[in-house]
Amino acid sequence: MQPYFFPYLGYFALISYTDQWVVFDVSQYTPKTWINRNRVSNAHKDWSYISIPIEKSSQSKTIHEIKVKCPISARKGIISKILHYKNKAPHFAQVLSLIEGVFQEFNTSSSLVDLNNISIKHTCEYIGISYEETIISQSGLVLPKINHPGSWALEIATALGASHYLNPVAGKSLFKDAEFKQRGIQLEFLEKHRYSYDTYPFKFVEDLSVIDVMMWNSAEEIRSIINNFSIISS
């Protein structure tokens, strides 16, 4: 998966069901996507964006080439967008500490991929799920020509010697099952279980950033939600 910034809970459910997580950061960067922004609850409307400002770059740059513009300002901007949770969400202090820890570890880098990967790593530690990642741009893998979007997963899984490949079920149409079978790789999909949790006095909105999930739920409660997701074979 592309490295998203504090992604939604389904992203972490996918991580929890895998042995090796592949950070796919060699495709072209697309502005205004989950790579540098996400959504949190808003005190006056359903939700609002939290975003990481990036340095100006050409449209041809890949994800791993994107740099964060002024990490100190980025941190302040994110913190300001979550202060409305204070005195309302039961786990505000713990989540604030987690976010502060992410930016503290990030202070030696300017790479957006590094920031996102650190945010994912810290969140996994907080929830209590294993995170073993391979960052494609740093892996040294040599991949053949990619014939269609689903080939990325096929070639990376082959290069890593994988026996199974797991993807969100929403992306099922991208893949050709016969290609995976020819390589001896079992193609599987993770189906999301619908969930909700108490966000009073705010309105509950599904699939906000995991920041929102952690504000209202303990690590044990989050793992319980994840455990209700299911794997289906192709």
pLDDT digits (tens, 9 = 90+) for 115-169: 999 999 999 999 999 999 999 999 999 889 898 989 999 999 999 999 999 999 9
What are the angstrom distances between the C-alpha of 200 and each of 25, 79, 136, 193? 37, 21, 41, 22
Exposed (0-12), middle (13-18) or buried (19+): which is 88, by Cβ within 10 Å?
A: middle
Tens of pLDDT, residues 176-185: 999 999 999 9
Q: What is the mean pLDDT of residues 23-46?
A: 93
Q: Could you tell me if 186 and 164 are in contact, meaning their C-beta atoms sit under 8 angstroms apart?
A: yes
One-letter amino acid for residue 229 of the chain = F
Name the pairing type of β-strands 230-233 and 186-191.
Answer: antiparallel
- How much of the chain, in percent, has pLDDT values that exceed 70? 99
Output the pLDDT for position 58. Answer: 65
Task: Report pLDDT for 167.
Answer: 96
What is the pTM assigned to this prediction? 0.95
SS3 213: helix
Residue 111 has pLDDT above 80, yes or no: yes
Q: How confident is the model at residue 4 (pLDDT cuts 50, 70, 90)?
A: very high
Most confident of 30-44, 56-70, 117-131: 117-131
Q: Which of 41-45, 58-62, 132-136 has the weakest average pLDDT?
A: 58-62
Backbone angles phi, psi at 65, to 5 degrees: -90, -5
Mean pLDDT of the residues in the chain: 95
Residue 50 has pLDDT above 70, yes or no: yes
pLDDT band at 2 (very low <50, low <70, confident <90, very high): very high
Mean pLDDT computed over 28-46: 93
CA separation, residue 53 to residues 68, 95, 133, 200, 232 (Å): 6, 21, 25, 31, 38
Residue 57, pLDDT above cutoff 80:
no
- Is the pLDDT at 86 greater than 90? The verdict is yes
Residue 189 parent element (H or E): strand 186-191
**Percentage of residues in the chain with pLDDT exceeding 90?**
88
